[in-house]
Amino acid sequence: MKLTIKRVPTVVSNYQEDAGERPRGGCGRNCLGHCCLPVSELPVYAFKANPTKLPLQEDAVPTDFFINLLLGQWEDRMTQGLFRYDVTACETKVIPGNLGFVAQLNEGRHLKKRPTEFRVDRVLQPFDSAKFNFTKVGQEEALFQFENSGSDDSYFLRSAAATVADRAPNVVAINVSPIEYGHVLLIPRVLDHLPQRIDQESFLLALHMAAEAASPYFRLGYNSLGAFATINHLHFQAATQRIPLAEGGIKSGVKVSKLMNYPVRGLVFEEGNTLNDLANLVSSACIWLQDNNVPYNVLISDSGRKIFLFPQCYAEKQALGEVSQELLDTQVNPAVWEISGHIVLKRRDDYEEASEASAWRLLAEVSLSEARFEEVKAYIFDAACLVQSQVEEETDDAIYAPVPVGPSAVGEGCLVIP
C-alpha cells in the first residue's frame, strides 16, 4: 500500500507546469538543460576553497559581497516581475512568546489548482525527467553559478561559460514563490539530474555557501521527500531572515547536542575543525535517515557552523488520517522554514490568531515521539561513529538548551575530537 497525500504543490519556478498543460516544443528558450546551458554564459561566484574559521565576535566585520550580489540580483529579478507576488507586501509579525516565532500572511503562495498526489512513504525516489525539474527552468531565474575557486580567495565573474572544466555547474536560482525576501534555491550539479538526496559533496557545497555569506541571518534549509520537498531534483533553499531558532546563540562546545524545550525533537551539530568534518558528520546522519526511509529537514545556520537536523513524520500521519482537521485546514506544510519558526499562513483568521501555543501545537505533530527519536538517534550515532556522552548537564529554563550527547571518546577510525 502506497502512502500518499494530496497537496497543492508550491510553484518554485515559472516553468513549473503540470505535464500536458504547456505544449512541449523544442527548446529555444534558454533553459538550464543540456540543450542550452552548456553553450550559455552565467555569472560565476567562486567561493574560497578553505574558509578560515571566522571570528565569532560581534564586531568582526562580515564580508558582505556575497549577500550584496545575491540581494542585488534578487531585486533585479523583482524589477523584471519574475516573482508570483511581492513577498514584502505580505504582512508579517513576531508572535509574542519565548520562542519568537514569525507568522506571515501569504494568500498567494499556493496555486489555486487541483492538488496532485504525492507519495510520502519513500524518501528516496529515482529521478524522473518527465516531471518538472530544474533543467526546465529559464536562465532568467538563475542568478549565478556557485563553484569552488580552488584558492584562498573568492571572486566573481560577471559572465563565464556555464560548464567549467568537466563539472556540471551548481546554480543558484530564485524561488518564484518566496517565503521571504531573498529566498533562493541552490541546485548542485544541475545537469546531472540528481534526485533529492543528500550526499557529502552536496552537503559540503551548502556549507560553503553559508560560510561564504558570512552572515548570521543567512540560512540554508533542506527538505527530504516525505518532509515536504516538492521537487525530486536535488536542491537546497536559502534565505536571509531572522529565524528565531538559529539565533539561539548557545555554544555548547561539543559536536552534537539534543535540542530541548522545542516542539520538534532534533539534533544540533556544531563546530568541527573544518567544513569538511561537519559535512561528513551530518551527511552520514542524513544518509542513514534516507536509506531507512525517515523523512527529515535540515537547517544550516551561523555561517555553516551550526546545523539542526529534524527527523519528522507529519506527512505520514497525514496520510494515515492522524492529523486533526483543524491543523489540516491551515494548510501549513511543516517544512524546514516552518519548523525553524517561520510560519506562512494562508488565511487571515489563522494569521490574526497565530500564537505560540498554536504554532507549538502544529510543530509538535511534526516531531518524532520521544521513544522513536531516541531510537533514530541511536542509529544515527552508530552510523556517524559517535559515542553518547555519559554526562547529563542540567539546563533549567534555557531555551533550546542543548544537552551534550557526544562524542566524548575517540573511536578508532572515527571522528577526531579536537
Partner 1 sequence: MEELDELRGSFLLTDPAMPGHPIVYASRGLAALTGYPRRELLGRNARLFQGAATDRAAVSGVREAVRAQRAHQVAILNYRRDGSPHWVLLHLAPVFHAADGRVLHFLAVQVPIAPASPPRRHPGRPAPLAACREEARGEEELPCASHVGEVFVDIDKRGLEAEELRIASGCDKEMALSTANNIFSTLNRYSKLTGLVVCERRCDSVGIPALSSSLNLSLGRIKQSFVLTDRHLPDMPIVYASDAFLSLTGKDFCCSNHLTYPGYSREEILGCNCRFLNGPGTSAEVLEEINQHICREEACTVHLLNYRKDGSTFRDLLHVSPIRNSSGKVAFHVWVHLDESAKHDFSGLTPEVWQLGAVGAVRVAVRSLSASGSLLRPSQ
Q: Which residues bind partner 1 (CB under 8 A)?
A: 43, 64-65, 67-76, 79, 86, 88-94, 100, 102, 155-158, 181-182, 217, 240-242
For residue 384, the tally of other CB atoms under 10 A from its CB is 23
The nearest distance, CB 76 to partner 1, in angstroms, is: 5
The amino acid at 399 = I
User: Edge-to-edge strand order for the sheet containing 102-105?
Assistant: 92-94, 102-105, 342-345
CB of 252 to partner 1, least distance (A): 26
Q: Nearer Cβ to partner 1, position 64 or 393? A: 64
Nearer to partner 1, 68 or 369 (CB): 68
- Please say whether the beta carbons of 183 and 299 come within 8 A: no
Residue type, position 302, single letter: D
Q: How far is the CB of 40 from partner 1 (least distance, A)?
A: 18
Residue number, 239 or 268, with CB nearest to partner 1: 239
Cβ–Cβ under 8 Å, residues 345 and 103: yes
Mapping DSSP to helix (H, G, I), strand (E, B) and coil, where does residue 91 land? Answer: coil
- Give the whole-angstrom CA distance, residue 14 versus residue 407: 46
Closest distance between partner 1 and the C-beta of residue 93, in Å?
6
* Cell numbers that stand for 279 in this block: 559535512
Peptide bond before residue 407 is cis, with ω within 30 degrees of 0: yes
Nearest CB to partner 1, comparing residues 92 and 252: 92
Compute CA distances 101 → 321, 341, 342, whole Å.
27, 5, 6
Shortest separation between residue 303's beta carbon and partner 1, angstroms: 16
**Is the Cβ of residue 75 or residue 128 nearer to partner 1 in the bound state?**
75
Does residue 208 carry a catalytic annotation?
A: no
Report the 10 Å Cβ neighbour count for 411: 12
Give the closest residue to 222 by CA, choosing from 199, 248, 245, 244. 199
Under DSSP, the state recorded for 138 is B
Total residue count of the chain as it appears in this document: 418
Among residues 183, 193, 235, 342, the one annotated as catalytic is: 235
- How far is 184 from 13, CA to CA, in rounded Å? 11
Q: Which is nearer to partner 1, 43 or 195 (CB)?
A: 43
Q: Minimum distance between the CB of residue 153 and partner 1, rounded to whole angstroms?
A: 11
Close Cβ partners of 252 (under 8 Å, ≥ 6 residues apart): 268, 270, 402, 404
> Which positions are annotated as active-site residues?
235
